[in-house]
A and B are shown apart, each in its own frame.
Chain A
Amino acid sequence: AQSVTQPDIHITVSEGASLELRCNYSYGATPYLFWYVQSPGQGLQLLLKYFSGDTLVQGIKGFEAEFKRSQSSFNLRKPSVHWSDAAEYFCAVVRGRGGSYIPTFGRGTSLIVHP
Protein backbone atom coordinates (compact mmCIF):
# COMPACT_ATOMS: atom_id res chain seq x y z
CA ALA A 1 0.00 0.00 0.00
CA GLN A 2 1.11 3.50 -0.69
CA SER A 3 0.99 6.12 2.02
CA VAL A 4 2.20 9.52 2.95
CA THR A 5 3.32 10.47 6.44
CA GLN A 6 3.65 13.96 7.79
CA PRO A 7 5.06 13.42 11.27
CA ASP A 8 4.49 16.96 12.54
CA ILE A 9 0.91 18.00 13.25
CA HIS A 10 1.89 21.55 14.20
CA ILE A 11 5.01 23.60 13.56
CA THR A 12 5.61 26.98 15.15
CA VAL A 13 8.24 29.36 13.79
CA SER A 14 9.07 33.00 14.17
CA GLU A 15 8.69 35.31 11.22
CA GLY A 16 11.95 35.43 9.31
CA ALA A 17 13.12 32.04 10.54
CA SER A 18 13.73 29.10 8.25
CA LEU A 19 11.20 26.32 7.84
CA GLU A 20 11.28 22.64 7.06
CA LEU A 21 8.16 20.49 6.89
CA ARG A 22 8.69 16.77 6.73
CA CYS A 23 7.07 14.27 4.42
CA ASN A 24 7.80 10.57 4.08
CA TYR A 25 6.23 8.27 1.57
CA SER A 26 6.04 4.57 0.99
CA TYR A 27 5.86 3.50 -2.61
CA GLY A 28 7.62 0.81 -4.57
CA ALA A 29 8.21 2.67 -7.80
CA THR A 30 9.13 6.21 -8.76
CA PRO A 31 6.79 8.42 -6.79
CA TYR A 32 4.98 11.44 -8.10
CA LEU A 33 5.10 13.87 -5.20
CA PHE A 34 3.32 17.13 -4.50
CA TRP A 35 3.07 19.80 -1.82
CA TYR A 36 -0.13 21.79 -1.41
CA VAL A 37 -1.04 24.69 0.84
CA GLN A 38 -4.44 25.44 2.29
CA SER A 39 -5.30 28.84 3.71
CA PRO A 40 -8.21 29.01 6.17
CA GLY A 41 -11.56 28.48 4.50
CA GLN A 42 -9.99 27.77 1.14
CA GLY A 43 -9.27 24.84 -1.08
CA LEU A 44 -5.79 23.46 -1.67
CA GLN A 45 -3.28 25.18 -3.94
CA LEU A 46 -0.25 23.53 -5.49
CA LEU A 47 3.13 24.71 -4.19
CA LEU A 48 5.39 22.38 -6.17
CA LYS A 49 5.73 18.89 -7.57
CA TYR A 50 8.36 16.31 -8.37
CA PHE A 51 8.29 13.33 -10.72
CA SER A 52 11.73 13.12 -12.29
CA GLY A 53 14.95 15.00 -12.91
CA ASP A 54 16.58 17.41 -10.50
CA THR A 55 15.80 16.31 -6.96
CA LEU A 56 15.59 19.89 -5.71
CA VAL A 57 12.44 21.54 -7.02
CA GLN A 58 11.38 25.13 -6.76
CA GLY A 59 7.83 26.20 -6.18
CA ILE A 60 5.75 29.26 -5.72
CA LYS A 61 6.00 31.71 -2.81
CA GLY A 62 9.70 30.96 -2.29
CA PHE A 63 9.23 27.32 -1.31
CA GLU A 64 11.44 24.45 -2.38
CA ALA A 65 11.49 20.72 -1.72
CA GLU A 66 14.12 18.04 -1.99
CA PHE A 67 13.42 14.48 -3.02
CA LYS A 68 15.65 11.94 -1.27
CA ARG A 69 15.01 8.43 -2.49
CA SER A 70 17.32 6.86 0.11
CA GLN A 71 15.24 8.39 2.90
CA SER A 72 11.87 8.16 1.15
CA SER A 73 11.41 11.81 1.92
CA PHE A 74 10.20 14.94 0.18
CA ASN A 75 10.68 17.73 2.70
CA LEU A 76 9.43 21.25 2.09
CA ARG A 77 11.66 24.19 2.96
CA LYS A 78 11.65 27.95 2.98
CA PRO A 79 14.63 30.06 4.04
CA SER A 80 12.62 32.90 5.60
CA VAL A 81 9.02 32.55 6.67
CA HIS A 82 6.49 35.37 6.32
CA TRP A 83 3.41 35.78 8.48
CA SER A 84 1.27 35.09 5.41
CA ASP A 85 2.72 31.57 5.22
CA ALA A 86 0.61 30.52 8.19
CA ALA A 87 -1.57 27.77 6.75
CA GLU A 88 -2.06 24.02 6.51
CA TYR A 89 0.41 22.15 4.34
CA PHE A 90 -0.24 18.82 2.71
CA CYS A 91 2.14 16.40 1.10
CA ALA A 92 0.63 14.10 -1.52
CA VAL A 93 1.63 11.23 -3.74
CA VAL A 94 -0.19 10.16 -6.87
CA ARG A 95 -0.72 6.45 -7.03
CA GLY A 96 -1.87 4.32 -9.89
CA ARG A 97 -5.03 2.26 -9.51
CA GLY A 98 -6.49 0.27 -12.35
CA GLY A 99 -5.24 2.76 -14.89
CA SER A 100 -6.40 5.76 -12.88
CA TYR A 101 -4.31 8.22 -10.92
CA ILE A 102 -5.33 8.94 -7.37
CA PRO A 103 -3.84 11.73 -5.24
CA THR A 104 -3.27 10.45 -1.71
CA PHE A 105 -2.65 13.00 1.00
CA GLY A 106 -0.85 13.10 4.30
CA ARG A 107 -2.66 14.33 7.37
CA GLY A 108 -1.25 17.81 7.04
CA THR A 109 1.00 20.08 9.06
CA SER A 110 -0.36 23.28 10.51
CA LEU A 111 2.17 26.12 10.36
CA ILE A 112 1.93 28.83 12.99
CA VAL A 113 4.02 31.95 12.49
CA HIS A 114 4.87 34.17 15.44
CA PRO A 115 5.69 37.84 14.83
Chain B
Amino acid sequence: DAGITQSPRHKVTETGTPVTLRCHQTENHRYMYWYRQDPGHGLRLIHYSYGVKDTDKGEVSDGYSVSRSKTEDFLLTLESATSSQTSVYFCAISGTERNTEAFFGQGTRLTVV
Protein backbone atom coordinates (compact mmCIF):
# COMPACT_ATOMS: atom_id res chain seq x y z
CA ASP B 1 0.00 0.00 0.00
CA ALA B 2 1.09 3.53 -0.76
CA GLY B 3 2.28 5.37 2.32
CA ILE B 4 -0.49 7.87 2.89
CA THR B 5 -1.77 8.73 6.33
CA GLN B 6 -4.70 10.98 7.04
CA SER B 7 -5.35 12.42 10.48
CA PRO B 8 -7.62 12.51 12.24
CA ARG B 9 -9.74 9.65 10.90
CA HIS B 10 -12.88 10.95 12.57
CA LYS B 11 -13.78 14.37 13.91
CA VAL B 12 -16.86 16.07 15.24
CA THR B 13 -16.71 19.83 15.47
CA GLU B 14 -19.03 22.73 16.05
CA THR B 15 -20.18 25.21 13.47
CA GLY B 16 -17.87 28.19 13.25
CA THR B 17 -14.76 26.49 14.56
CA PRO B 18 -11.59 26.07 12.51
CA VAL B 19 -10.56 22.56 11.53
CA THR B 20 -7.35 21.27 10.00
CA LEU B 21 -6.99 17.90 8.36
CA ARG B 22 -3.57 16.47 7.67
CA CYS B 23 -2.30 14.27 4.88
CA HIS B 24 1.16 12.77 5.16
CA GLN B 25 2.90 10.76 2.44
CA THR B 26 6.09 8.75 2.44
CA GLU B 27 6.21 8.23 -1.36
CA ASN B 28 7.81 11.54 -2.33
CA HIS B 29 5.11 12.08 -4.95
CA ARG B 30 4.80 15.51 -6.49
CA TYR B 31 1.03 15.80 -6.66
CA MET B 32 -1.28 15.82 -3.69
CA TYR B 33 -5.05 16.30 -3.76
CA TRP B 34 -7.91 16.83 -1.38
CA TYR B 35 -11.33 15.50 -2.37
CA ARG B 36 -14.61 15.38 -0.58
CA GLN B 37 -17.03 12.51 -1.05
CA ASP B 38 -20.75 13.00 -0.68
CA PRO B 39 -23.61 10.69 -1.67
CA GLY B 40 -24.69 11.32 -5.22
CA HIS B 41 -21.70 13.52 -5.98
CA GLY B 42 -18.82 11.09 -6.09
CA LEU B 43 -15.46 12.67 -5.38
CA ARG B 44 -15.09 16.36 -5.94
CA LEU B 45 -11.75 18.13 -5.96
CA ILE B 46 -11.25 20.79 -3.30
CA HIS B 47 -7.62 21.81 -3.80
CA TYR B 48 -4.49 20.27 -5.15
CA SER B 49 -0.75 20.81 -4.94
CA TYR B 50 1.87 20.31 -7.61
CA GLY B 51 4.85 21.05 -5.40
CA VAL B 52 6.00 22.66 -2.18
CA LYS B 53 4.13 25.95 -1.77
CA ASP B 54 2.41 25.37 -5.14
CA THR B 55 -1.32 24.89 -4.81
CA ASP B 56 -4.43 25.57 -6.84
CA LYS B 57 -8.19 25.48 -6.43
CA GLY B 58 -10.48 22.68 -7.42
CA GLU B 59 -14.18 22.74 -8.21
CA VAL B 60 -15.42 23.09 -4.61
CA SER B 61 -12.78 25.25 -2.95
CA ASP B 62 -14.99 27.85 -1.26
CA GLY B 63 -14.54 27.74 2.51
CA TYR B 64 -11.32 25.74 2.31
CA SER B 65 -7.65 26.60 2.26
CA VAL B 66 -4.56 24.44 1.94
CA SER B 67 -0.88 24.58 2.62
CA ARG B 68 2.10 22.50 1.62
CA SER B 69 5.31 23.51 3.33
CA LYS B 70 7.00 20.13 2.88
CA THR B 71 6.77 17.54 0.13
CA GLU B 72 5.26 14.99 2.48
CA ASP B 73 2.54 17.09 4.13
CA PHE B 74 -0.61 18.65 2.70
CA LEU B 75 -2.96 20.38 5.10
CA LEU B 76 -6.61 21.19 4.49
CA THR B 77 -8.15 23.91 6.66
CA LEU B 78 -11.76 24.80 7.13
CA GLU B 79 -11.49 28.34 8.43
CA SER B 80 -14.99 28.37 9.92
CA ALA B 81 -16.72 25.02 9.63
CA THR B 82 -20.31 24.86 8.39
CA SER B 83 -22.78 21.99 8.36
CA SER B 84 -22.46 21.80 4.56
CA GLN B 85 -18.86 20.74 5.07
CA THR B 86 -19.92 17.55 6.81
CA SER B 87 -18.39 14.97 4.53
CA VAL B 88 -15.74 12.33 4.07
CA TYR B 89 -12.45 13.85 3.00
CA PHE B 90 -9.88 11.95 1.01
CA CYS B 91 -6.30 12.80 0.35
CA ALA B 92 -4.67 11.38 -2.77
CA ILE B 93 -1.19 11.46 -4.26
CA SER B 94 0.19 10.79 -7.70
CA GLY B 95 3.41 10.93 -9.62
CA THR B 96 4.50 13.21 -12.42
CA GLU B 97 3.32 11.13 -15.34
CA ARG B 98 -0.22 11.50 -16.59
CA ASN B 99 -0.76 7.77 -16.83
CA THR B 100 0.09 7.10 -13.21
CA GLU B 101 -2.77 6.32 -10.90
CA ALA B 102 -3.75 8.21 -7.79
CA PHE B 103 -3.23 6.56 -4.42
CA PHE B 104 -5.73 7.33 -1.71
CA GLY B 105 -5.66 7.66 2.02
CA GLN B 106 -8.26 6.01 4.23
CA GLY B 107 -10.35 9.14 4.53
CA THR B 108 -11.43 11.47 7.33
CA ARG B 109 -15.05 11.55 8.36
CA LEU B 110 -15.88 15.08 9.48
CA THR B 111 -19.15 15.98 11.14
CA VAL B 112 -20.02 19.62 11.74
CA VAL B 113 -22.80 20.07 14.30
Residues in chain A within 8 A of chain B (CB atoms): 6, 9, 32, 34, 41-46, 49, 51, 90, 92, 94, 96-108
Q: Is the CB of A103 within 8 A of B99?
A: no
Residues of B at the A interface (CB closer than 8 Å) are 4, 31, 33, 35, 40-45, 48, 50, 56, 58, 90, 92, 94, 97-99, 101-102, 104-107
With beta carbons under 8 angstroms apart, the residue of A9, A44, A108 that contacts B104 is A44
Q: Which of A49, A101, A106 contacts B42 (CB 8 A)?
A: A106
The answer to whether A103 and B104 touch across the interface, beta carbons within 8 angstroms, is no
> Shortest CB–CB separation between residue B55 and chain A, in angstroms?
10
30 A–B contacts from the bound complex (CB under 8 Å): A9-B40, A32-B99, A41-B107, A43-B90, A43-B105, A43-B106, A43-B107, A44-B90, A44-B102, A44-B104, A45-B104, A46-B101, A49-B99, A51-B98, A51-B99, A90-B42, A90-B43, A92-B102, A94-B99, A97-B56, A101-B31, A101-B94, A101-B98, A102-B33, A102-B58, A105-B42, A105-B43, A105-B44, A107-B40, A108-B43
Bound CA–CA A110/B99 (angstroms): 25
